Chain A
Amino acid sequence: NAGVMQNPRHLVRRRGQEARLRCSPMKGHSHVYWYRQLPEEGLKFMVYLQKENIIDESGMPKERFSAEFPKEGPSILRIQQVVRGDSAAYFCASSPQWLLHEQFFGPGTRLTVL
């Protein structure tokens, strides 16, 4: 059973460009979560999605960030007009439908904004 997959593993963007991070959950998992790890900071929750629905986006910055989990295909975290402060490791996690269940994390995407 393949684990959570994220791509790309490393992404370099110049200020003002767009970044698209992809996450494929584990087989059989219908819930996806995105977390961000900023340098010198801990891991912070960003957003929780089910297929075609955003359930909780309380941790998402109000501007430039968006997330989706379409009926077909991976979940996408999109960052528009990136700034240097967006440089971080972005982790995706997935879990099955049951409420009380562990989350399994992908290897992360390391975004560097030049």
Chain B
Amino acid sequence: GAVVSQHPSRVICKSGTSVKIECRSLDFQATTMFWYRQFPKQSLMLMATSNEGSKATYEQGVEKDKFLINHASLTLSTLTVTSAHPEDSSFYICSARQLQETQYFGPGTRLLVL
């Protein structure tokens, strides 16, 4: 149980385009979903926390207009990187949590902006 999927697993896009990443909890309802980014050999950096049906809470320094988060249902959250630039290239990982403390992570999405 507690499986989280992400799609796509890898995406290459041109600078200036927008990219949408989906995160789904497959076998449980996630009251809260989290979005992280991770640079090589660095820790997971929390970008935002989203609860179903409400606006996401962004961490300091994360532009909410650039990283749009939609948590439309208890099993789906999306992250849209708008007007992507090369510096947005990173590994984006989502996680989902039910009621307990444990977060279950998706496999991650590798974004490369040319």
Are A and B interaction partners? no
